Structure 1
C-alpha cells in the first residue's frame, strides 16, 4: 500500500497490512500455514537470530498472516508496533511480562472483566507479581495506590460488563507523573470508538476474539505499543533498559527505540512464553476487521435503542449503558468514545438472582454464551458465570451484582431484539 495521503479508518481497516502476495499476486492475505522459513544462507540465518535483520524464522515468533493482522490493528490504533497472540488473556500477560518482576505490582481498575480480575488477583501471584484494585473514578485513590514497586496501571476503555467509560486522559496523567506505562484494554470499544494512544495510553491490548473478529469463530489477542514511552528513563524496566544476555548484551530500549517493546515481545515473550496465534485464526480476524466500522456503528445504534426501552420497563431497576442521558458516564463519551458507547451494557432486574436466571432461560433470539462482540446478540448472567469466582463484594464492584444481566447487542433488527426481551421479561416475572 503506497500513498502519501493520511488514510481514513474505513480504508485502513481493509488495506493496512494487506499488500498483494509477492509470489502469486493474491489480493487477500494468504494463510501461510507453515511452521518454518528457509534461510537464504548461513549469514542470513545468523542475522535474523541476532536481531540484526527483520524476517521470518519460526511461526511461534512471527508468521506473515499473523504479522499482517498485527500491522492492521497497529494502524487502526495509531501505534508504533505490535504483536498478535493466542487470546486476550495472553495479550495481558504479554503486556506485563517485560515490565514486571518478583515483588512488583500493578494498579488495576475494579471495573474489569471477571476473568481479568481472577488473572490479576490470583494467577499472577505465581510469578511473584500482585495487583491493587482501585475505583478508577477516584483519581486520588489511583495515585495513592502507586508505590515504588508499581510497574504499570491497567484499565478497560469501556469496562466489561457494565459498559462504564474510563477517563483515560485523567488516568494517563497519573501514570505519566509516576513514570509508569498505562495499559488500556480496548476490547469493548475497539479503535473505531476509542483511540487510547491518542488519549495517553502507552500500551493497548485486545481480545481479538470479540468485536475485531466479530463473528464468534476464533480466539486471539493483540498487544499494541504506542512507541512513546522512554524505557531508558529509569531503572524500573531492566528487561528493556539493561543488556539482554540472550542477545549478546543487546539493550532493547537503546538499540530499538520506539520498537523496543514490540521486538522484546517477539524475541523474548513469544519465544519463551509461546502464546502464538495460529495463521488461520489471524485470517478470520483480518476478514472481520474489514467491516469493523460498519458493524460498530450498528452495534451502537441498536444498543442505544434497546437500552432506552429497557430503562422504561417496569421490571427493570437500572440500566448501565453510558449512552443514556441518565448515565453518569454520558459526559465522558465526547472525550473518550465520541462515536458512541459501544454495544455492551448491563441491567438490573427487580426480582433478583432467580428472576435473572428465569429471564435468561426464556430468551429465544439472544444466545446464552460466555462471549461478547458477536454480530449476534448475546446474554449472560455474570454472577453465575464469568464472575462466579469472585466474592459478592467483588462482583458488585465489577458491575456484576447477583441481580444484573449483561447484554452484548448485535446487529440484528432492533425491534426483534426488543420483542424477545419483552416476552422473556414477562415470563421471568409471571
Structure 2
C-alpha cells in the first residue's frame, strides 16, 4: 500500500461541478483518496459504492509502517471535509479539543510561542493558557481586533496565529485577509477554528487566506449531539519549503514530509506522527455517525439561520431582554465583517442579557420546558446555557469581562424546531422571572447546572 504521492494536490474539488449540498452526500468516496492513495482500498471499497449508506469498514494495515493503519470510514469523512472546506487533506480525530492540541503539537515545541486571539472558546483558552505552558510553549493572547496588535506579538519563535471564525460566546469576527497578509510576511500559518462556520456552509476561511482549519465535529457537523469528534483540515496554502529553519519537523531526513507530500505535509504529520503518538483516534462508528450528520447539514443550517434571524429580532422586542448579540443585526459591531466573510446566513448562535441579572437567568433556565440546558452547541434541538456559571466559571472576573461574559448573559444555540414553539417556551419562561421566591438553588453566585447534570447521570457522588 502506498501512502501519498510525490505530486502536490490542488485545492480544487475532486468534483468541481458539484454544488456544496451535493458534496455533503457524495464527496470523498472516490477511489483516489486525497490524503492517502489507497490502491488496495479502491478495490476493497468498490464493493460498497452502490450502497445508500457508507458501512463501518474494517481498518487496513499500512504496509510501510507497523504502527499505523488506515480506517476507510474515517478516511471518507476526512476527504469529504477537505472538499467542503476547500482544503487538500484532513485528519479526523477523537474530539474538537484533540484537534486543537494536535494542531499545536504539530507546529510548536518547548521554547516556542504562538499568538491567539483572546476571544476563543473557553476550553481552547484553558488549553492555550495552562496546558501549553506545562509543555513549555507560550501562548500570547491578543485582546484586540486590530491586526497590527497581532503583528506586534510575533517574533522569531512564533509558530502560528490562531483565531475563530465567530468567537464563542462573544461573537467577535476578525479580519482574516488582513491577518493572512501579516502571517504570510512573517512566514507563519494562520489557523482558524471554524466550528461556527458549519463545515463551510456559512464560512470557508481558506478562501480568505487561512492556512489550516479545525472543527469540533461534535457540533453542527454531527448535528445530533450523540457523537464526539474533531477535524483538522490542511488548506495546502502554506509553503513549508520556504521556512526550513522555523519548521524543521517538515524536513526531517527520516520522514521527509515536505519532500514526499509537498502541500499536504501538515495533514500527513497530524495523521501519521501526532495522531499516532497521542492516540486521539476517531473511531469508525463515530466517523459514520458524523457522515450521516453531514448529509443533512445544508437543510439544517438553512433552517438554523432562518430561526436564528427571526428569534433575534423577536428577543429585541421582549421587555425582560436587556440586549441581544447577533452578528446578523445591521448595528452589530462585526456585521460588516460578517457580510465580508459569511454567506447563506449568519450562523445559529445568539447571546442575550436578561434584566434582573443572575437571578433572572436562574429563573429563566429553570422554567424552560422544551429548550435544553447544556453546554453543547450545534444540535438540531435548541440549547441554552449560562456561560458565567458553566463554560467560563474558571475564568477570573477580569477575564470574563474581557470575553464579554456577564452575569446576565444567556448563550443560545438555535435549533430547527418550529419557531413558534421556541418562542412559546421562551415566553412562558420569561413569565417565571418575575414570580416571587427562589426557583433554582443558588450558591455563591453560581447556577449549578453541571452538578444537576452529574446528579442525573451518575448520582449525588458525582457532584462537585
TM > 0.5: yes
Equivalent in the alignment of 2:46: 22
Aligned: 1:157 with 2:130:
no
Aligned to 2:81: 73
Superposed counterparts of 1:23-38, under 5 Å: 23-27=47-51, 28-32=53-57, 34=58, 37=60
Give the 5 Å matches for 1:273-422.
273-422=278-427
C-alpha contact (below 8 Å) 2:201/2:343 kept by paired residues: no
Unaligned runs of 5+ in 1: 40-44, 50-56, 244-248
Q: What are the Cα deviations for residues 357-412 of structure 1, in whole angstroms up to 9, with x where unaligned?
A: 22111111210012000000000001111111111221222232222110000001
Answer with 168-177 or 275-284: which moved more: 168-177
- Whether the 8 Å CA contact 2:23–2:84 is kept in 1: the answer is yes
C-alpha separation in 2, matches of 1:315 and 1:378: 19
What's 2:20 paired with?
9
Cα distance in structure 2, aligned partners of 1:83 and 1:95:
10
Total equivalences in the alignment: 407
Inter-partner Cα distance in structure 1 for 2:118 and 2:70: 34
Which residue number in structure 2 is paired with residue 202 of structure 1?
211
How far off is 1:38 after superposition?
Answer: 5.8
Q: After superposition, what is the alpha-carbon deviation per residue over 1:25-51, rounded to whole angstroms, capped at 9, x for unaligned?
A: 55221102x4x5367xxxxx2xx22xx
Per the alignment, residue 202 of structure 2 pairs with 193
Cα offset, 1:136, TM superposition:
4.3
Query: C-alpha distance in 2, partners of 1:186/1:145?
Result: 23
Q: Which one of 180, 197, 200 corresponds to residue 172 of structure 1? A: 180
Summarize the Cα distance change of 1:166–1:38 in structure 2 as closer, same or farther, 3 Å threshold. closer
What is the Cα deviation at residue 3 of structure 1? 7.8
CA RMSD, 1 decimal: 1.8
Give CA deviations for 1:157-209 in whole Å, capped at 9, x if unaligned. Answer: 01111333232212222222221111100101120000000010010000000
Within a 5 Å distance, the mapping from 1:247-258 to structure 2 comes to 249-258=254-263
Q: Which moved more, 1:95-104 or 1:165-174?
A: 165-174
Distance 1:187 1:136 in 2: 21
CA distance in 1, matches of 2:274, 2:218: 21
Please state if 1:259 is matched with 2:264: yes
Q: Tell me the residue number matched to 1:246.
A: none
Structure 1 CA distance for aligned equivalents of residues 19 and 153 of structure 2: 39
Separation of aligned partners in 2, 1:394 and 1:312: 30
- Deviation larger for 225-234 or 79-88: 225-234
User: Equivalents in 1 of 2:26, 2:230: separation in Å?
Assistant: 20
The range that moved more, 197-206 or 22-31, is 22-31
TM-superposed deviation, 1:242: 3.4
Gaps of 5+ in 2: 1-12, 32-44, 436-464
Per mean C-alpha deviation after superposition, the further-off stretch among 346-355 and 69-78 is: 346-355
- Report the Cα distance in structure 1 between the residues aligned to 2:303 and 2:258, rounded to whole angstroms: 42
Question: Under a length normalisation based on structure 1, what TM-score does the superposition of the two structures give?
Answer: 0.90
Counterpart residue number, 2:224: 215
Match of 2:91 among 83, 101, 105: 83
Deviations 1:193-228 (A, max 9, x none): 000000100100000000001011100000000111
1:132 matched residue in structure 2 = 140
Does the 8 Å contact 1:111/1:398 carry over to 2?
A: yes
Q: Judge conservation of contact 1:333–1:341 (CA < 8 Å) in 2.
A: yes
**Contact 1:135–1:142 under 8 Å retained in 2:** no
Mean alpha-carbon deviation: is it higher for 72-81 or for 111-120? Answer: 111-120
Other-structure match for 2:441: none
- 1:118 equivalent to 2:121? Answer no
Give the number of the structure with larger relative contact order, counting CA–CA contacts within 8 Å between residues 6 or more apart. 1
- Supply the distance in 1 between the matched residues of 2:90 and 2:361 (Cα, whole angstroms): 40
Judge conservation of contact 1:61–1:266 (CA < 8 Å) in 2. Answer: no
From the superposition, tell whether residues 70 and 426 of structure 1 become closer, same or farther in structure 2 (CA, over 3 Å).
Answer: same
Equivalents in 2 of 1:307, 1:336: separation in Å?
20
| Distance in 2 (alpha carbons) for counterparts of 1:411 and 1:298 | 6
- Alignment match, 1:240: 250
8 Å CA contact retained: 1:163, 1:341: no
Closer/same/farther in 2, CA of residues 97 and 62 from structure 1, 3 Å limit? farther
CA distance in 2, matches of 1:4, 1:296: 23
Matched position secondary structure for 1:101: coil
Aligned 8 A contact 2:101 2:127 in 1:
no
Q: Give the TM-score, by structure 2 length.
A: 0.84
Which residue is equivalent to 1:95? 103
Aligned to 1:54: none
